[in-house]
Amino acid sequence: MIRLRVVLWVLVALAAALFALFALQLSRPKDDFVRSALIGKKVPAFALEPATDGRPGLSSADLADGRPKLLNVFASWCVPCAVEAPQLGALERQGVEIVAVAIRDRPESVDGFLAAYGNPFSRIGADPISEVQLALGSSGVPETFVVDGRGIIRHQHLGEIRDSDVPILLEKLREAGE
C-alpha cells in the first residue's frame, strides 16, 4: 500500500513537471527564423562563377574591399525575391552596393528574372548546390546580409525586403561603414 502511494506521487510529480515545461514553452514568443551563427564573424571563404553573362561572379574577397555592402541570396524561381526587387532597386538608387548569390539556378533563368524585375546587383555568383548559402547560415530565399568593408557580417535580414525595411538596412549599412 505504501509502495503504491509512492508510485502515484512520483507519477503526479512527473505529470506536474511536464505540465510546467509545456507551459514554459508556450509562454515564450515564437521565432520562425533560423538566424545565422556568423553575425559578427567573417564571411566564409568562397569563389563563385558568374550566374549570368551580364555581371561578374562573386567571392569572399569582393566582400572585404573596404566598402560595406548588401549580400542578397536569391533565386529566379523565388516569388518573394520578385516581391523585394523594387526595394533592392531603391537601395541601389540610393548608392548602396548590392552583390548577390543566385542559388540552384540556370543562367537563362537568372537572365529572365533580371530582365523582368531589374538588376541592382554589381556582382552575381552562381551557387548551384547552395553550398555558399548554407555556409552563410542562410535558411532560405530571399535573405540579405549587411557586410562591412572587412567582410564581417553585421546584420541579417530574413525574408523579402519591404518598404519599411529599407530605412533599417540603410542604418545598418551606415553603422557597418563606421
DSSP letters spanning 39-81 = TTSBPPP-EE-BSSTTS--EEGGGGGSSS-EEEEEE-TT-HHH
> Do 106 and 131 meet the contact criterion of CB atoms below 8 Å apart?
no
User: So what's the pLDDT on residue 33?
Assistant: 47
The residues spanned by each domain of the chain are 1-30, 47-176
Given a cut of 70, whether residue 34 has pLDDT beyond it is: no
Q: pLDDT-based confidence at 35, cuts 50/70/90? A: low
Backbone dihedral angles phi then psi of residue 24, each to the nearest 5 degrees:
-65, -45
pTM above 0.85, yes or no: no
CATH number of 47-176: 3.20.10.10, 3.50.30.10, 3.90.105.10, 3.40.30.10? 3.40.30.10
For residue 2, what is its C-alpha cell? Answer: 505504501
Residue 135: which of 32, 43, 23, 4 has the closest Cα?
A: 43
Q: Read off φ and ψ for residue 156, nearest 5 degrees.
A: -125, 130
Provide the pLDDT for residue 65: 95
| pLDDT at 110 (0 to 100) | 97
Average pLDDT, the chain: 91
Q: What is the pLDDT of residues 135-151, one digit of tens each?
A: 998 888 999 999 999 99
Give the residue-averaged pLDDT of 128-135.
96
| pLDDT: which is higher, 19 or 28 | 19
Identity of the residue numbered 171: E
**pLDDT per position as a tens digit, 44-90:** 999 999 999 989 999 999 999 999 999 999 999 999 999 999 999 99
